């Protein structure tokens, strides 16, 4: 694992394998792709992840430099351990690098969250997904459409196992903790809402980090203007990804005149507490599309495409290009009502049930069969 989304996905797998007998030995390798306190260590604490057995410490860099660094650092670890399975998660550079290295060494690779496709090869994550899936020996999918994507690409059915969404496992386990944390979270953010503090179901939550949205000054400026428009109707809370903050500071618009409340990145529990109690989420994150669908929180995804169409077909997610954000906000504001988390839930999606990690463990140990 290497980046923050990986941590939520690998935690249920580690727990499920750990619940098996002592014959299952795990070595947890952190590549260090996300390495600072906000992007890594706080998530370990919130998720209850054990200290990694190995930390490669690769840090940041260009796609090529980071991928190469993970490959070079990963190879001696794999050579020493010679595991029965190399388990990779998600679609980040660490996922691709570990997969290529293991495949070249003749080691079996299992990909958790396989088969997702945006069909946009300009996205680095899409390239990572495709290469990883075609090299991996066992493809563990989160939804039925992912199975279909792999079949269309000619991947043999015996390599595919539908196990469900491991990130929802983490959400199910920790949502009660996050809900109990609301008084503490809202107190930390006192002054960001209306007079009297931040109220449940009365604010919008924003995340933005994709290059298509934040790297171009004009695109980012337009999105921030749309968020300022939204802030006229409700408090807008924006935990700012370091990448996005750097772009905003370079533009000289880091505070948007104070109308959008920009804060530092949050840990998993604080963020989940905010997300579960939001009136609306605006994001370009893949994982938040899934989490808001499960939680029943209306979500506007600012992207041209998504690798998670199930969140649109069965969920609360609306996909809009950046140029359509203002119109989508206008439509959303005409329909939104104050909400309470406990009174709203998303649709039931097959195997988004908190037990995907157990099915991953079963597949890895040969107990799942062909279901």
Q: How far apart are CA 343 and CA 359, in angstroms?
A: 30
Burial class (CB in 10 A: 0-12, 13-18, 19+), 371: exposed
Q: How far apart are CA 165 and CA 350, in angstroms?
A: 9
End-to-end Cα spacing for the chain: 27
125 phi and psi angles, rounded to 5 deg = -65, -35
CA distances (Å), origin 155, targets 101, 134, 135, 160: 20, 7, 10, 8
Active-site pick, 111, 134, 209, 241:
209
Residue 209 is among the residues annotated as catalytic for this protein? yes
Query: Which residues are registered as beta bridge partners of 319?
Result: 301
Report the Cα 97 to chain-centroid distance in Å: 19
- The string of DSSP codes covering 57-111 is ------HHHHHHHHHHHHHHHHHHH--S-EEEESSSHHHHHHHHHHHHTT--EEE
Residues 6+ apart with CB under 8 A from 314: 293, 347, 349
Neighbours of 342 (CB within 10 A): 10
Residues 6+ apart with CB under 8 A from 256: 224, 227, 228, 262
Contact 254, 245 (CB under 8 A): yes
How many CA atoms within 13 Å lie on the side-chain side of 211?
5
Report the Cα 14 to chain-centroid distance in Å: 18
Catalytic residues: 209
């Amino acid at each position: 694992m290497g980046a923050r989304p990986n941590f939520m996905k690998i935690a249920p797998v580690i727990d499920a394998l750990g619940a098996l007998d002592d014959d299952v030995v795990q070595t947890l390798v952190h590549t260090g792709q996300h390495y600072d306190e906000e992007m890594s260590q706080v998530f370990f604490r919130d998720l209850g992840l054990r200290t990694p057995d190995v930390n490669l410490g690769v840090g940041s860099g260009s796609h090529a430099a980071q991928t190469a660094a993970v490959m070079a650092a990963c190879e001696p670890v794999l050579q020493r351990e010679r595991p029965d399975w190399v388990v990779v998660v998600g679609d980040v550079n660490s996922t691709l690098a570990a997969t290529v290295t293991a495949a070249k060494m003749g080691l079996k690779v299992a990909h958790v969250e396989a088969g997702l496709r945006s069909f946009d090869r300009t996205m680095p994550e899409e390239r990572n997904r495709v290469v990883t899936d075609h090299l991996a020996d066992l493809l563990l999918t989160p939804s039925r459409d992912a199975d279909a994507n792999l079949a269309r690409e000619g991947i043999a059915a015996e390599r595919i196992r539908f196990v469900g969404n491991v990130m929802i496992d983490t959400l199910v386990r920790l949502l009660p903790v996050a809900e109990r944390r609301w008084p503490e979270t809202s107190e930390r953010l006192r002054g960001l809402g209306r007079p009297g503090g931040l109220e449940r179901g009365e604010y919008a939550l924003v995340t933005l980090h994709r290059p298509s949205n934040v790297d171009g000054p004009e695109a980012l400026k337009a999105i921030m203007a749309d968020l300022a428009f939204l802030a006229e109707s409700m408090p807008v809370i924006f935990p700012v990804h370091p990448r996005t903050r750097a772009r905003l500071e370079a533009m000289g618009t880091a505070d948007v005149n104070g109308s959008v409340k920009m804060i530092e990145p949050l840990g998993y529990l604080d963020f989940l507490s905010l997300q579960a109690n939001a009136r609306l989420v605006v994001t370009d994150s893949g994982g938040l599309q899934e989490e808001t669908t499960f939680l029943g929180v209306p979500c506007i995804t600012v992207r041209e495409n998504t690798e998670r169409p199930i969140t649109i077909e069965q969920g609360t997610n609306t996909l809009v290009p950046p140029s359509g954000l203002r119109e989508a906000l206008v439509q959303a504001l005409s329909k939104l009502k104050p909400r309470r988390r406990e009174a709203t839930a998303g649709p039931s999606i097959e195997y988004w049930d908190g037990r995907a990690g157990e099915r991953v463990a079963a597949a890895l140990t040969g107990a799942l069969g062909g279901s």
